[in-house]
Amino acid sequence: MNMPASQCRHCGRLFHNGKSHCSGCDRDSLDPVDLSGKGNVYSYTEIYAAPKRFVQQAPYLIVLVEMEHGLRVTGRMLNRPVQIGERVELHKVEDHCYYFAAL
Ligand SMILES: [Zn+2]
């Protein structure tokens, strides 16, 4: 799926969270955009000692993904094992968390 994001009308800077204010040019000029949900795994870690609300899901993988459009986002990886450089795609967004799957 595509990644919901925001882009500044003035300087073109991209943001992956639901902001309305651009920290690049200091204006309230962000418009919602749909970006490619594809990217490559830049780094990852496996969580064994999870926060209370995720205990049932542990162990699970957290990935840092370098997206095709240049943003780096943190999310959960649905497949395992995972490798640095692996091609992944955004699978869903739930509770403000990005879930990635191998391509
Ligand atoms: Zn801007």
Same domain, 25 and 11: yes
Residues 26 and 51 in one domain: no
The predicted-structure confidence for 41-75, as pLDDT tens digits, reads as follows 999 999 999 999 889 999 999 999 999 999 999 99
Q: Which domain holds residue 10?
A: 3-34
Q: Answer yes or no: do 93 and 62 share one domain.
A: yes
- Which of 43, 61, 54, 68 is closest to 101 using CA atoms? 61
Q: Are residues 29 and 52 both part of a single domain?
A: no
Q: How many domains does the chain have?
A: 2
Task: Verify that 74 and 42 share a domain, yes or no.
Answer: yes
Mark whether 8 and 45 lie in a shared domain: no
The verdict on 79 and 46 lying in the same domain is yes
Question: What average pLDDT is seen over the chain?
Answer: 94
Question: Ligand 1 centroid vs 22 CA: distance in angstroms?
Answer: 5
Check whether residue 29 and residue 59 sit in a common domain: no
Interval between CA 49 and ligand 1 midpoint (Å): 39
Q: How far is the CA of 24 from the centre of ligand 1 (A)?
A: 5
Residue range 70-97: mean pLDDT, rounded: 94
Q: Which CATH number characterizes residue 46's domain?
A: 2.40.50.840
CA of 31 to the centre of ligand 1 (A): 11
Same-domain check for residues 69 and 84: yes
Q: How far is the CA of 73 from the centre of ligand 1 (A)?
A: 19
CA of 10 to the centre of ligand 1 (A): 5
Residue range 1-41, pLDDT digits in tens: 999 999 999 999 999 877 789 999 999 999 999 999 999 99
Cα separation, 2 vs 24, in Å, equals 24
Burial of 89 (0-12, 13-18, 19+ CB in 10 A): middle
pLDDT of residue 89: 98
